[in-house]
Amino acid sequence: MSDKHPPKHAAGEPGPGAEEATPAEDSTAAVVSVDTAGGAMGPSAVPATAQSGQLPGGPDTVLRRIFTGSGMVSVLAVLLALIIGGLLIASTDKQVATTSTYFFARPTDFLAAVWNAATRSYIALFQGSVFNPRGNSVAAQFAPFMETLTIATPLITAGLGVALAFRAGLFNIGAQGQIIVAGILAAWVGFALHLPVGLHLLLVLVAGIIGGAFWGGLVGVLKARTGAHEVILTIMFNYIALYFLRYLLNTPAFQRPGETNPISPILDPSAVYPQIFGTQYRLHLGFLLAIAATVLVWWLLNRSTVGFEFRAVGANPKAAQTAGINVSRSTILVMAIAGGLAGMSGVAQVAGTEKVLTDGVAATYGFDAITVALLGRSTPWGTFAAGLLFGAFRAGAVQMQIQTGTPIDIVLVVQSLIVLFIAAPPLVRAVFGLNPRRKKQARTAKSRKAATTGGAA
């Protein structure tokens, strides 16, 4: 794709502000050496950059950072993904197909059709997710944005869970299962127990968090005790949770009386999140809790001893162990907290958006959470922003499908391309001709440069 630039620039993504002070090849060395401790130990499932969000690097001028830094790369990655998605939309458009038959006679027709097909879908996407100018009232015009926030809520909390595990060097694919188990417990407390207002909701929340933490912590225990790989364990646990949910929904304890479909009773009114902007929007208290969770995770990672241990284990488990950190305990704890965060998504689903338990309770939030965490570079606020973005995609895609007939699946394409491009900054820079190689730079870390004299090809 980009043979122009030499492989030694093929770095993993350097953190914000890292790559100007340290040239690209230095970041490569840093990434690989942190990842594997010089090849001496097994690889962490997660690259150092995804774990730390920021690699050590010197200060930098603001302007340079904007133009070649990771912020710009992120924007360009989104742009590139949108362009490719637009081309995909255009490629199946009827008007484009018609005009392509006389492409050589009037190429402008063809290009206009391509532009129209892509922009029409994206405008519908925007109107369905942020602002709809055709709404009758201000409230109706901002309804799409409220919908975005509603859908972003479970994405943010589950994404935080995945991100937290990333930072501890664990690849948590199990958010899906954790959401399901949390949903089961929260829903049961919600419809089977009848408690006073306030206490009931609190108990629903606690039950959900415990459910998720249990399911996540179980993976942590198995990983710590037996050394089984968490990727396999979490994938399997997702399926086990799903089938368990399907089984429960066919038992009298969970199935709605008089119903043959696998669906639970509706949760008590005292057990659901209040809607924060009135009943015309679905947006519920869960969103505020998601903000609180983001703050909490930020504090945990950056200000607490436990979080420091997580990050130390993530960066280099052997060094952490040598330094006296109990790696097993960290693994179990981080998976439990990650599960608890995903559990909040389960609660947001059953007590906020859906108000019942079905076997689609987790939808694809658990898997989307992985891309959310990756896009957010595993930082709490990055994950929050990425959750909002993907929430907007999800909300807008529904409108897009209704208005323009573009299938929702395009969102999956754009989402995955964004993550793919963001993970490979050299590719994005090469596409946009922004490779920092072209500029003369001060080499600050000569010693580290020596570590990578060769290339990756």
Partner 1 sequence: MSTTVSSPRPGKPQPDSTASDTGPATISTKPVTWRTPVLLTFFGLIALVFFGLLAPNQTASFGISTGEDFFQLPALQVNAFAGGIVLSVLLLGLAGYAVYLKTKGRPAPGWLTVTFIVLFVAAFLIWVVGGARTPNISLAGLIAGSVTLAVPLVFGSLSGVLCERVGVVNIAIEGQLLGGAFTAAIVASMTQNPFIGLAAAAVAGAVVSMVLALFSIKYLVNQIIVGVVLNVLVSGVTGFLFSTVMQANKAQFNSPPGLDIIEIPVLSSIPIVGPILFRQSLVGYLMYIAVLVVWVGLFKTRWGLRVRAVGEHPQAADTLGINVNATRFWNVTLGGAVAGIGGSFFTLVAIDSFTKEISGGRGFIALAALIFGRWNPIGAFFAALLFGFADNLQSIVTIIGTPVPSQFMAMLPYLVTVLAVAGLVGRSRGPAASGIPYVKG
Residue 246 token pair? 């399907």
CB of 320 to partner 1, least distance (A): 19
CB of 420 to partner 1, least distance (A): 5
Give the whole-angstrom CA distance, residue 255 versus residue 248.
Answer: 8
Per the CB < 8 A criterion, the answer to whether 175 and 189 are in contact is: no
What are the distances in angstroms from CA 123 to CA 73, 116, 350?
Answer: 23, 10, 31
CB of 202 to partner 1, least distance (A): 31
Q: Contact residues for partner 1 (CB under 8 A)?
A: 1, 7, 10-12, 28-29, 31-32, 35-36, 39, 42-43, 45-47, 50, 88, 92, 171, 173, 222, 225-229, 231-233, 235-237, 239-240, 243-244, 246-247, 250, 367, 370-371, 374, 406-407, 409-417, 419-420, 423-424, 426-427, 451-457
Alpha helices in 249-379 (DSSP H): 285-303, 305-315, 317-322, 327-347, 365-375
Q: Cβ of 245: how many Cβ atoms within 10 Å?
A: 24
Residue with smaller CB distance to partner 1, 10 or 21: 10
Residue with smaller CB distance to partner 1, 310 or 421: 421
Residue with smaller CB distance to partner 1, 285 or 398: 398
Give the whole-angstrom CA distance, residue 348 versus residue 342.
Answer: 10
Residue with smaller CB distance to partner 1, 32 or 205: 32
The counts of H helices and E strands in the chain are: 20, 0
CB of 114 to partner 1, least distance (A): 15
Q: What is the DSSP letter of 255?
A: S
Q: What is the DSSP letter of 111?
A: H
Residue with smaller CB distance to partner 1, 128 or 286: 128
Residue with smaller CB distance to partner 1, 308 or 367: 367
Per the CB < 8 A criterion, the answer to whether 183 and 349 are in contact is: yes
CB of 293 to partner 1, least distance (A): 23
Give the whole-angstrom CA distance, residue 387 versus residue 351.
Answer: 19
CB of 39 to partner 1, least distance (A): 7
